[in-house]
Amino acid sequence: AQSVTQLDSHVSVSEGTPVLLRCNYSSSYSPSLFWYVQHPNKGLQLLLKYTSAATLVKGINGFEAEFKKSETSFHLTKPSAHMSDAAEYFCVVTRGYNKLIFGAGTRLAVHP
């Protein structure tokens, strides 16, 4: 069955430093993977999606993620954190045709 594990519940970085949010997936077939972000009192916004066309996926706001089949990972990165990046981030895998399975989320804090 498809599932995702987000390895860190909280990540704290300083503004201007790199961000790494880790996600491992489990899937019996080639998965569809996404990262969503949730700012306080807001809905879930799509950051990026893995389409199998390229292993390095670029998303909005300078984020990108690399699909590594050998490591079953889909880590989210950003070279330089901004204060506005503070939010909760969800790694998501599809199960079947119509269902998303969410990870537990990683709360990113960005300090001045």
Chain residues that interact with other proteins, rule: CB under 8 A = 32, 34, 36, 41-46, 49-52, 90, 94-105
Nearest to 94 by CA among 86, 84, 102: 102
* 23 contacts 75 by C-beta, under 8 angstroms: yes
Min dist CB 87 to other proteins, Å, is: 14
Min dist CB 4 to other proteins, Å, is: 10
Min dist CB 42 to other proteins, Å, is: 6
Q: Give strand pairing partners of 64.
A: 58, 77
Q: Which is nearer to other proteins, 59 or 62 (CB)?
A: 59
* 20 contacts 74 by C-beta, under 8 angstroms: no
